[in-house]
Amino acid sequence: MSNLFHELNDKQIQAVQATQGPVLILAGAGSGKTKTLTHRIAYLIAEKGVLPHQILAVTFTNKAAAELRQRAATLLRQNPKAWVTWRGFGSSPALGTFHSICVRILREDTGKIGYKRSFVIYDTADQKASMRDVMRREGVSPKDVNPSTVLGMISRAKNELLSPEEFEPEARGPVEKIASRLYSSYQNYLKQNHAMDFDDLLMQCVILFRKHPDVLKKYQDMWHYIMIDEYQDTNHVQYEWARMLAGKRQNLFVVGDDWQGIYSWRGATIRNILEFEQDFKGALVIRLEQNYRSTVPIVELGNSIIAGNSGQIKKKLWTEKSGEHVPEVLQVSDEVREAEKVLEKISGIEEVQSSNHADLKHEVESSEEITYDYEAESEGTGILDKIMGTMGKGKGSKHVDSVSRKPSKVPYDIGQQKINWNNFAVLYRTNAQSRALEEVLLKYGVPYRLIGGIRFYERKEIKDTLAYLRFLLNPNDSVSLARVINEPSRGIGERSLSAVQGLARAKNQSILLTMLGIEDLDSLSSQRAQAIKQFALVFDRARQSIDELSVTEIIDLLLARSGYLDYLKAQAEEGEERIENIEELKNVAKKFEAIKGLQGLEAFLEEVSLITDIDSYDPEAGQALTLMTLHAAKGLEFETVFLVGLEEGLLPHSNSIIDPQELEEERRLCYVGITRAMDRLYLIHTRQRALHGSIVGNIPSRFLSELNDEHVQFFDEDEW
């Protein structure tokens, strides 16, 4: 027992021990919300005799779920009795993301709402392809209405749990009206393909619970204790899902911070926190005020930023953690210097740490030499003006002259040095910002892990391979089929394909079966019919021998027989790289080696579908500098954080500058970024930046002018 509590403060202990009834922990960043949740899992098992499988804990990323599991196991290991229960019972708590838990539920009972057990999960690209198809059928031109806009509207409707019928009267304006009409056809289309998009996973789960109370009861009886991390980012459908599962017991434990709500664009609503006490009668609300993550100046900077937002819950956040480092705002010439600056700083920090000699301190850390005397040059009175003063004239003016860039001071062999890269993270607002950073890191051979941007799973060859596998698993999946039927080219056009689909519908049989018996179709030339049949035979034969095969063998078989591998081999260098990527995919598939046949394939495809950006983050996988967006960074912490691109138009983002509410969300993003830092924080902005193909002059982010300047030093590159 003592083991479980010795690292917790009184409030945290109170929260851990409040095991019955609804509980809300409302507290600032780094105050131990996630830690408390983890300890509560361990406490329930160790002290309350709760069986592991009676616990459901939901987080927003698979990574966070894995971390919860690992931390709870570590805690339980210290308590022999609980360890035996944990290991011996052979069950573990359901720990996962909303999406992964929903998939689990749906796989069991999805037949009850008309989907096959082996339904596939469509990602954004699949959704767009489906929508284009639907629009074509409905006679709506993508030139008039953008498929992504329609999908965005449908997504919002789904997040609000609105069916097509319910959405129709709500639709305002001509585009939304079209979207509401397409919503219904789109749902039918997905259903025909036995496919769900990400929003469906949650919505269909709630529909399943509503239509089949017996299914809901099964889970209510199983999960006695439900916990949700990052509750501020839940939307209506997630709220409803949790509310239904909490049932009569009402053992719902949620933790959140309204200051960190950054997903309102995905329908997250702060209402879920504000009205928790009304929704769940008798709820206990606990506030944690001490931050254990960051040093005094970092916490104070966070507080000063967030104070700029109105209408938020008043909370205190303080820390006792001391540290020598004073956070820095650095102005550099452009995005290349920005990246170099990150490396120079890392090199300086590592040098100091390894030598432990004050006089070896990197020169840029000696404040006397480099403190920028902005008073002397300031043109206005605010800090923004002061910073502007360092930029010469032209507040906000665009200047595209060639950059006069300071020479790099990055040690040429930094990539080979023994550096604890895992301690460092570079955070930015938009994925596009990673390119310049990556180029500099590659130049110096610095190991890095990129989270977001062009993901591995978005590479063409990976998507093609997965589409081959998905069609093998689900012979009704027309989207996957359309993706690969002409990869490599087989001379089968869109018209032939839709003729096959039409025939499959008419005959009420799978597309694969229809393709195998394609001679029936007069409208096709015999040459085309032959090509279609040959293609279908690849899948048919693979299906016949599949029971003995592992996923990697299935991949090899399918890619060889379909001619896809030869097609890549013919592409010289580019093809080689693509084949390497497929080999990498097979590495992922190796995890499922033990499960043969369609079952293994299903498990593999499910895992792949659920992998989100954040999941490529694996601190165990060697030392690497982390690059990621602010959105992906929530809940994480790093010794040193570089928040880059603090410029108007980037943070706050240009799309969000006009709307005051969106601007507040940008401020919360900035707050999330600052509060990821444990010991050191650098905020960098450039004078000009090449982004999206053009070079623009930038003015510093307004958020820099909101920083409490007692706790930060401002540096201009020219002063170093």
Residues designated as active site: 33-34, 229-230, 260, 676
12 binds, among Mg ion, ligand ATP, none (CB under 5 to 8 A by kind): ligand ATP
**Distance from C-alpha of 681 to C-alpha of 307, rounded to nearest angstrom:** 19
Q: State which of residues 12, 31, 34, 54 lies at the interface with Mg ion (CB under 5 A).
A: 34
Exposed, middle or buried: residue 483 (CB in 10 Å: 0-12, 13-18, 19+)?
buried
CB of 28 to Mg ion, least distance (A): 11
Closer CB to Mg ion, residue 28 or residue 635? 635
Among the listed ranges 38-46, 213-221, 481-489, 634-642, the one in contact with Mg ion (CB under 5 A) is: 634-642
Closer CB to ligand ATP, residue 112 or residue 325? 325
Closer CB to Mg ion, residue 227 or residue 524? 227
As given in the structure block, the two tokens for residue 474 are: 């689900």
**Distance from C-alpha of 654 to C-alpha of 633, rounded to nearest angstrom:** 21
31 binds, among ligand ATP, Mg ion, none (CB under 5 to 8 A by kind): ligand ATP
Binders of ligand ATP in range 57-86 (CB under 6 A): none
How distant is the alpha carbon of residue 154 from its chain centre? 20
CB of 666 to ligand ATP, least distance (A): 18
Binders of ligand ATP in range 280-339 (CB under 6 A): 292-293
Closer CB to ligand ATP, residue 315 or residue 455? 315
Q: Are 78 and 33 in contact (CB under 8 A)?
A: no
11 lies in the binding site for ligand ATP (CB under 6 A): no
HSE-CB of 211 using CA atoms within 13 angstroms: 12
**Distance from C-alpha of 89 to C-alpha of 105, rounded to nearest angstrom:** 22
**Distance from C-alpha of 50 to C-alpha of 93, rounded to nearest angstrom:** 10
631 binds, among ligand ATP, Mg ion, none (CB under 5 to 8 A by kind): none
Exposed, middle or buried: residue 373 (CB in 10 Å: 0-12, 13-18, 19+)?
exposed
3-state secondary structure of 685: strand
CB of 404 to ligand ATP, least distance (A): 39
687 binds, among Mg ion, ligand ATP, none (CB under 5 to 8 A by kind): none
3-state secondary structure of 699: coil
Among the listed ranges 25-33, 41-49, 74-82, 647-655, the one in contact with Mg ion (CB under 5 A) is: 25-33
Site string for ligand ATP, 108-147 (x = CB under 6 A): ----------------------------------------
CB of 230 to Mg ion, least distance (A): 7
Q: State which of residues 12, 331, 616, 698 lies at the interface with ligand ATP (CB under 6 A).
A: 12
Binders of ligand ATP in range 638-677 (CB under 6 A): 675
**Distance from C-alpha of 302 to C-alpha of 306, rounded to nearest angstrom:** 6
Exposed, middle or buried: residue 589 (CB in 10 Å: 0-12, 13-18, 19+)?
buried
566 lies in the binding site for ligand ATP (CB under 6 A): no
158 binds, among ligand ATP, Mg ion, none (CB under 5 to 8 A by kind): none
Among the listed ranges 34-42, 594-602, 646-654, 670-678, the one in contact with Mg ion (CB under 5 A) is: 34-42
As given in the structure block, the two tokens for residue 152 are: 């965005």
Among the listed ranges 7-15, 158-166, 368-376, 382-390, the one in contact with ligand ATP (CB under 6 A) is: 7-15
3-state secondary structure of 541: helix
Closer CB to Mg ion, residue 270 or residue 559? 270
Site string for ligand ATP, 626-645 (x = CB under 6 A): ---------x-x--------
Helix (H) or strand (E) holding 48: none
Q: Are 720 and 370 in contact (CB under 8 A)?
A: yes
32 lies in the binding site for ligand ATP (CB under 6 A): yes
Closer CB to ligand ATP, residue 60 or residue 468? 60
Q: What is the dihedral of CA 482, 483, 485, 489, to 10 degrees?
A: 130
Q: State which of residues 635, 645, 652, 700 lies at the interface with Mg ion (CB under 5 A).
A: 635
What is the largest distance, in Å, between two alpha-carbon atoms of the chain? 86
Helix (H) or strand (E) holding 625: strand 625-629
Closest CA to 232 of 182, 185, 266, 184: 266
CB of 673 to Mg ion, least distance (A): 15
Closer CB to Mg ion, residue 22 or residue 30? 30
CB of 254 to ligand ATP, least distance (A): 12
Among the listed ranges 30-38, 217-225, 575-583, 584-592, the one in contact with ligand ATP (CB under 6 A) is: 30-38
CB of 467 to ligand ATP, least distance (A): 37
**Distance from C-alpha of 468 to C-alpha of 484, rounded to nearest angstrom:** 7
Closest CA to 333 of 720, 666, 706: 720
194 binds, among ligand ATP, Mg ion, none (CB under 5 to 8 A by kind): none
Q: Which residues contact 82 (CB under 8 A, 6 or more apart)?
A: 42, 45, 46, 47, 76
The site for ligand ATP, by CB under 6 A, has a size of 19
**Distance from C-alpha of 350 to C-alpha of 79, rounded to nearest angstrom:** 38
Look up residue 536 and give its amino acid.
A
**Distance from C-alpha of 451 to C-alpha of 368, rounded to nearest angstrom:** 37
Tell me which DSSP letter residue 403 carries.
P
Closer CB to ligand ATP, residue 29 or residue 582? 29
Closer CB to Mg ion, residue 16 or residue 515? 16
Supply φ then ψ for residue 59, to 5 degrees.
Answer: -130, 180
CB of 29 to ligand ATP, least distance (A): 4
Count of beta carbons in the 10 Å neighbourhood of residue 279: 17
35 lies in the binding site for ligand ATP (CB under 6 A): yes
CB of 612 to Mg ion, least distance (A): 17
Binders of ligand ATP in range 250-279 (CB under 6 A): 257, 260
- Sheet bearing 55-59, strands edge to edge: 94-97, 55-59, 225-228, 252-256, 23-27, 284-288
**Distance from C-alpha of 487 to C-alpha of 463, rounded to nearest angstrom:** 11
Rule CB under 6 A: which residues touch ligand ATP? Answer: 7-9, 12, 27, 29-35, 257, 260, 292-293, 635, 637, 675
Rule CB under 5 A: which residues touch Mg ion? Answer: 33-34, 635
